[in-house]
Amino acid sequence: MSDHFSGPRALSDPAADITDLYAFPAPDSPDHLVLVLDVFGKSGPSAVFSDAVIYRFRIRPVQIAAMGPEAAFAPSQTEFRFECTFDIPSGRTDSGRPLQQGRCLTPDGRTILFRADDENGGLDSGVQVFAGQRSEPFFLDVRMIEKTAATGKLSFKPKGSDTLYGTNILAIVLKLEWRKVLEGGPLFAVVCETLASGKRPVRIERIGRPEIKNVTLSWKQFDQVNRNLEIRDLYNSEDAFDLKPDYFDVYRARMNANLEFHDGLDGKIDWPFDQHGNHPLTKLLLADFLVVDASKPFCETSYFEIERSMLEGLTHATPGGRWLNQDFMDFIYTLYVNGGNGPPINDGVDAPIAWSSKVFPYLAPRNVAKAAAA
Amino acid sequence: MNCLSKIPTSADWPAGPPRLTDGTIAVLNLEAQIDGLKDHGTIAETAALIDKLVLRGLILGRISDYERAAQLADRLVHDTATDAVAFVARARTRAVFHRFAEALDDLDRAARLSPEDAAAKRERAAILQALGYYYETLETYGAAADRGVQFEQAAALAGFWAEHGETETAQQFYLDSVRSYRGVSPFPLALLDFQLGVMWMRQDRLNEARACLGSAVRRVPAYAAAQGHLAEVDADLGEPEAAIARLTPLAISSDDPDYSAQLARILGEMGFGEESTAWRRMAASRYDELTAAHPAAFADHAAEFWLGAGNDPKKGLRLAEFNLRVRKTPRAYDLLAQALDANTVGAASARCSAHLAS
């Protein structure tokens, strides 16, 4: 749900509205890399994938181009694409869900067929695909995040209220035998997109890192350059691997302003701006792809560890990427507010309604009955 | 036959016509959004739920959805009286029930809380249009278009000129809006097709109307109002069986009496008196309920019913007079003239002129 409400256009069709991207070495198989794309947050039981949308995974081998304050990645021009598309549902399953067939086009041109909600998914030579409705793995207290932005004071309560408790998403899970189906690595940059299919597919939205378009780019009031401008549709329309210079300063100014706001929430500056007037994280975050090291053992709390190591001039120790149930809001607020130089910030919500599994398709089964409010 | 009197060329869609989500999927997902939002309520989510309920009411012809949206909006304003979003949401539901003055009051309050709220401005323009303040409406839409918002404003202007019967201009804005559409949801385009279809119906250009309404139904097969109007066109083009086939499931499933009223009329014209009477009774009973609960919203349709298949011209006249007090649009005057005709054959024109002059 870190990317839901990420711009007016993304909201126009819920099945095209990306909520999250995850990338992690398979906990049950070190030879596999797992990628998860979630769409349609808070979806009711009749939710299905759109037949007019391409759900695209883009994977590029990436190198670390620079360490220290100028830390940067250099993604390769070689790209591996997996594209999932879906039919119009025909009938219902025994559980009452619409019966929908899907297919995944692999980089080498194979098509893997699968049935939505089938936990075994489709399988063909190093690639396993699942698609269907599952339990929302993300958790956060949106009201207190909004209050924090509105009041300028950290507003989390010791016991928060999970805005996503008991809700479901539509998920697509790819389990890849990465040495077989990808080239290069083991460091990969991952981006997911939804595109309107047709003669010339048009990107609806994209996601790399979590909470970029919401927590980090959405608040307008701190941005002294474009205070009244909704920039996220524009941002979504950009190629994550090839951000054009035309609007770069618009994103940079917004991100600098919002990161500065967050840094000030504890009354002290942990992230002094550099000589170019930029927050130290801005450049890395605007490289908006999820970086994962497929050769490292699975780790549940490794988001941004690669980047933090780069900033400190160290070699990373974890796979980075992002696991389904990492307490992301605690992590990001601690990172943005004190950079790890102060006490961890807790948003008062520490778990989803159901923990994800360590076996395919990893996400917990969908919540059938509406759970009681948190 | 196309929605337009001229056939679009490939130049109209250089990248091909837009590929849209199948209408059946779109309705399933609309249901899924409503189900998913109903127990989770930030202000924005409750406002979104209200919007989705209004949309489902519009698409599936469910008055109960409008009523539920109105209840939610009242509660939202009660709970969050300092948030413009709540007032805009309530204005929308009040406008659905033609409670335009109260809707404008809500928008005034929203404007005081958030002067630059674009949603409030769009809502105000739609209400001004419904009330017949066309100059002010056009000014609002024009200003919004100047700011570069493409699809929504072009679509609003297409609807505006369609209601005015300015077919050429309406078609141009229709094309502009379709060409600028970047979404995959079929609802916005189906709604636009419907508006153009109604325009052609009012112009008695039934083939064009059929094309537009057919396009709306192809995009969203469950679109009740489009199916209903298509049935009317079918009947007017001498295909009453097709009309009956379209209307019967709607009359059974919808809580909007328009469909049973139409069915009663067509069956009556075909000489199926008994069946016609059964549907007429059902429509009459439901119109009485609705005009008691939401008089402003249903006065015009109820008046049309009582002047036609309902066969109670006096009741039709009372409702037509009431409707004109709610909004002084050309259609409201036409309806009153029709009611006066039905009640005083021969003196209609004189009485109508006197009424207009007063």
Distance from CA of A283 to the nearest CA of B (A): 30
Q: For chain B, how big is the Rg over CA atoms in Å?
A: 20
Residues 1-20 of B with CB under 8 A from A: 15-16, 18-20
A44: chain B residues, CB-CB within 8 Å: 31-36
Tokens of A162: 């999970």
Question: Do A50 and B18 lie within an 8 Å CB cutoff?
Answer: no
Instruction: Write down the residue that tokens 């949308």 correspond to.
Output: A53
| Domain residue ranges of chain A, discontinuous segments joined by + | 9-338
What is the CATH number assigned to the segment(s) B1-14+142-222?
1.25.40
Given pLDDT bands bounded at 50, 70 and 90, which one contains residue B347?
Answer: very low
Question: Do A88 and B24 lie within an 8 Å CB cutoff?
Answer: yes
Given pLDDT bands bounded at 50, 70 and 90, which one contains residue B4?
Answer: low
Q: Is the pLDDT of residue B274 over 70?
A: yes
Chain A interface includes B41 (CB < 8 A): no
Given a cut of 70, the residues of chain A with pLDDT beneath it are 1-11, 369-374
Question: Do B25 and A373 lie within an 8 Å CB cutoff?
Answer: no
Question: Do B32 and A51 lie within an 8 Å CB cutoff?
Answer: no
Distance from CA of A363 to the nearest CA of B (A): 19
Instruction: Write down the residue that tokens 């502009």 correspond to.
Output: B176
**Structural fold of domain B21-131:** 1.25.40
Nearest neighbour of A199 by CB, restricted to B16, B34, B182? B16
ipTM of the complex: 0.91
Q: Which one-letter amino acid corresponds to residue A4?
A: H
Phi, psi of A126 (to 5 degrees): 90, 0
Tokens of A266: 């504890």
Given pLDDT bands bounded at 50, 70 and 90, which one contains residue B11?
Answer: low
pLDDT value at residue A214: 78
B22: chain A residues, CB-CB within 8 Å: 50-52, 88
pLDDT value at residue B136: 75
A138: chain B residues, CB-CB within 8 Å: none
Given pLDDT bands bounded at 50, 70 and 90, which one contains residue B40?
Answer: low
* CB-defined contacts A:B, below 8 A: 105
Question: Do B29 and A13 lie within an 8 Å CB cutoff?
Answer: yes
Mutate which: A42, A49, A230, A237, vs B, most B CBs within 10 A: A42
Question: Do A89 and B25 lie within an 8 Å CB cutoff?
Answer: yes
Give the C-alpha separation, B348 to B10, whole Å: 50
B116: chain A residues, CB-CB within 8 Å: 228
Tokens of B131: 């009330």
Q: Is the pLDDT of residue B351 over 70?
A: no
Q: Alpha helices, DSSP H only, in A182-327?
A: 232-237, 248-263, 282-286, 305-311
| Domain residue ranges of chain B, discontinuous segments joined by + | 1-14+142-222, 21-131
pLDDT value at residue B14: 53
Instruction: Of A343, A364, A344, give the one whose Cα is nearest residue A354.
Output: A364
B220: chain A residues, CB-CB within 8 Å: none
How far, CA to CA in Å, does B115 sit from each of A12, A231, B143?
A: 25, 20, 15
Question: Do B25 and A50 lie within an 8 Å CB cutoff?
Answer: yes
A204: chain B residues, CB-CB within 8 Å: 183-184
pLDDT value at residue B350: 46
Nearest-CA residue of chain A relative to B13?
A: A199
Distance from CA of A15 to the nearest CA of B (A): 8
Distance from CA of A241 to the nearest CA of B (A): 22
Question: Do A15 and B37 lie within an 8 Å CB cutoff?
Answer: no
Domains B1-14+142-222 and B21-131 share a fold: yes
Chain A interface includes B184 (CB < 8 A): yes
Instruction: Give per-residue pLDDT as tens, B171-204.
Output: 888 888 888 888 899 998 999 899 889 889 988 9
Instruction: Write down the residue that tokens 């993300």 correspond to.
Output: A138
pLDDT value at residue B142: 66
Q: In B191-332, where do the E strands start and end?
A: none
B19: chain A residues, CB-CB within 8 Å: 52, 196-198
Q: Is the pLDDT of residue B6 over 90?
A: no
A163: chain B residues, CB-CB within 8 Å: 40, 42
Nearest neighbour of A88 by CB, restricted to B22, B183, B188? B22
Tokens of B238: 């001498």
Instruction: Give per-residue pLDDT as tens, B108-150.
Output: 999 898 877 778 888 888 888 877 777 777 777 666 555 555 7
A48: chain B residues, CB-CB within 8 Å: 25, 28-29, 32
